[in-house]
């Protein structure tokens, strides 16, 4: 079982889960929106004993505080603070979706902390978010929550279930769509300069049926930075570490052997 720990940055309490292993070969993992550190438990088991995986609960998720600051700098500096707190850098760094942007911007701006980068299914150019249905904060019963999820586009996805918890006033998640809206708004823009500035080896993983980034964008990013190698999973979607775990681990392990 991974051990939960905490650190403080600028008065914000941040949580992370250390799944154990050799500190000299550490992989720090940043989940996507609505995820949490425990999303990386299966990956940690698959990589042991060769690699120690440390998953972070990014602010507003998991057991980390829902801080007021939801700027780009806030998320990037949180991840940097974790690596410095672990005192084992530079590390290998992976990020999925929203966490992937945080990961590659950190690699671009703090190259002293990152020696290799794995980005899972996200691009560099973001427009305003499309209006969507916000989930309730609470459900009266676990059955009602699971029924709601079952009827959603996401289904009973373990990615969300890892953040499920019973509160005093009902069942809910350890994230909030409303809290995340300013963070999503701060993501709008073109971050191609950050991608081009990365100086460490990069593995860019993509599913061809992803709803969040096109294959053309993945190819553009690979051309933008010659340190990029791609792993394109035909017919896969957005959460590759869950949808194609064996293939994902095999591709990641090969990258870690060569560049970690």
CB 7 within 8 A of CB 74: no
β-strand partners of 6: 15
CA atoms within 13 A on the CB side of 33: 19
Say what the pLDDT of residue 200 is.
98
Tokens of 238: 């957005």
Distance of CA 52 to the CA centre of its chain: 17
Say what the pLDDT of residue 216 is.
98
Within 10 angstroms of residue 196's Cβ, the number of other Cβ atoms is 15
> pTM of the predicted model, to two decimals?
0.96
Q: Would you give per-residue pLDDT tens digits along the chain (260 residues)?
A: 799 999 999 999 999 999 999 899 999 999 999 999 999 999 999 999 999 999 999 999 999 999 999 999 999 999 999 999 999 989 999 999 999 999 999 999 999 999 999 999 999 999 998 776 678 889 999 999 999 988 887 777 888 899 999 999 999 999 998 899 999 999 999 999 999 999 999 999 999 999 999 999 999 999 999 999 999 999 999 999 999 999 999 999 999 999 77
Instruction: Please choose, from the candidates 6, 35, 25, the residue with its C-alpha nearest in 3D space to the C-alpha of residue 256.
Output: 25
β-strand partners of 5: 16
User: Cα dihedral sign for 53, 120, 31, 87?
Assistant: positive
Say what the pLDDT of residue 133 is.
65
Say what the pLDDT of residue 177 is.
86
Distance of CA 13 to the CA centre of its chain: 18
User: Cα dihedral sign for 207, 90, 198, 16?
Assistant: positive
Q: How far apart are CA 163 and CA 205, in angstroms?
A: 24
Q: How far apart are CA 140 and CA 199, in angstroms?
A: 50
């Amino acid at each position: 079982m991974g051990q939960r720990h905490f650190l403080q940055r600028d008065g914000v309490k941040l949580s992370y889960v250390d799944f154990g292993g050799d500190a000299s070969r550490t992989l720090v993992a940043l989940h996507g929106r609505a995820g949490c550190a425990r999303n990386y438990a299966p990956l940690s088991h698959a990589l042991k004993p060769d690699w120690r995986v440390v998953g972070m609960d990014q602010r507003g998720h998991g057991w980390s505080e829902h801080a007021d600051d939801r700027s780009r700098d806030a998320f990037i500096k949180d991840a940097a603070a974790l690596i410095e707190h672990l005192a084992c850098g530079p590390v290998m760094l992976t990020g999925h979706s929203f966490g992937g942007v945080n990961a590659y911007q950190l690699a671009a701006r703090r190259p002293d902390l990152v020696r290799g980068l794995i980005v899972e299914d996200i691009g560099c150019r973001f427009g305003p978010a499309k209006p969507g249905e916000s989930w309730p904060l609470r459900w009266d019963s676990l059955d009602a929550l699971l029924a709601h999820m079952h009827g959603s586009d996401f289904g009973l996805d373990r990615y969300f279930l890892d953040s499920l918890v019973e509160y005093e006033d009902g069942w809910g998640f350890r994230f909030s769509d409303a809290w995340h809206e300013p963070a999503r708004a701060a993501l709008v823009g073109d971050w191609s300069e950050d991608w081009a500035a990365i100086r460490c080896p990069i593995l860019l993983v993509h599913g061809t049926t992803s709803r969040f980034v096109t294959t053309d964008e993945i190819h553009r990013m690979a051309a933008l930075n010659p340190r990029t190698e791609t792993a394109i999973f035909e017919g896969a979607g957005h959460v590759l570490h869950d949808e194609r775990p064996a293939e994902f681990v095999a591709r990641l392990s090969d990258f870690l052997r060569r560049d970690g």
